[in-house]
Amino acid sequence: MSYHVPVLYNECLDNLAVKKGATYFDGTLGGAGHSEGILMRGGNLIATDLDKDAIANAKVRLAKPEYEGKFTLVRDNYKNFINILDSLGVDKIDGALLDLGISSHQIDEPERGFSYRFDGRLDMRMSDEQPLSAYDVVNTYSEEKLADILYLYAEERFSRRIARNVVNARKNKPIETTLELAEIVKQSVPMQAQKNGHPAKKTFQAIRIEVNGELSGLDEVIEDIISRLNSGSRLCIITFHSLEDRIVKKAFALHSTDCICDKKLPICICGHKASVKSLGKIKPTKEELENNSRSASATLRIIEKI
């Protein structure tokens, strides 16, 4: 299996400030790069992923004598964080990491149906146990709903035109493969707008987000993780597009602010108290950008539990 080099690797581990024997949660296991880094620095690990391939790969990668008994892998959605910790009898943790990017393994395997570069059946599910697939979205959603998804989840300027052409194409036969969809999108986007990368990039991003419900519940799980962090522990989140980053930025700001009353009120009546402090954001170095183009859109944000 081919998995990507983890983005902002040292920055994540340095900011988690991993302590020997402490317990850390990696909610987005992926290729287990960040997870192994936690173990290498002496931490104990709880890691989750919906993708059975990721779990299988991690079992092999982490099967080293020095890691024995120091990690637990759970095939589940990180948004079930509270239930996962409770099921393991864990009350508090000493740090958490979410890398919200999609793994290269998922993109590079044609049968997973994530990529507009390889031909495969439209799928895009993080887990094969999920009922909704990209095929369902493309072939059953109304023109209006498709257009809304493309605009809201990818800020696609040509969302209406793409949705209309998708609906017209499926009148003749179902749209079954990634390259079929990519070609419809390509024909929908004016040539002058195709200069900055593949014209289907935003469409595939939007459908993937819809299929996997990537944005829903993100702010809630941030609150859940904060509630289980020990004092002085940190939460690091890597985002890859503006919608995710906006949610994370807003949630971090909320939990690092005391009063959240309307500014027009003369006194505070909400009683809200900050539970964390922001440690800012980090972008990839020039060196990382040169060595790993995937890191170009990455942003790491860090908070520390008060």
CATH number of residue 185's parent domain: 1.10.150.170
Q: pTM for the complete prediction? A: 0.91
End-to-end Cα distance, the chain: 40
Task: Indicate whether 117 and 76 sit together in one domain.
Answer: no
Closest CA to 92 of 225, 219, 208: 225
The answer to the question of residue 27 being in a domain is yes
Are both 114 and 207 inside the same structural domain?
yes
Q: Is the pLDDT of residue 256 over 80?
A: yes
3 located within any domain: no
Structural domain includes residue 280: yes
**Count of domains observed in the chain:** 2
pLDDT of residue 265: 87
pLDDT for 202-238, tens place per residue? 999 999 999 999 999 999 999 999 999 999 999 999 9
70 with 109, same domain?
Answer: no
Cα–Cα nearest to 97, from 54, 34, 148, 36: 34
- 2 assigned to some structural domain: no
Q: Quickly count: other Cβ atoms within 10 Å of residue 110's Cβ.
A: 17
Could you read off the pLDDT of 151-180 as tens digits, one per residue?
A: 999 999 999 999 999 999 999 999 999 999
Same domain, 225 and 301: yes
Please compute the mean of the pLDDT values over residues 169-197 and round it to a whole number. 92
At residue 3, does pLDDT exceed 60?
Answer: no
Q: List pLDDT tens digits, range 69-126.
A: 999 999 999 999 999 999 999 999 999 999 997 776 667 677 787 888 889 999 999 9
Same domain? For 116 and 204 the reply is: yes
Residues 6+ apart with CB under 8 A from 71: 35, 39, 44, 45, 46, 47, 62
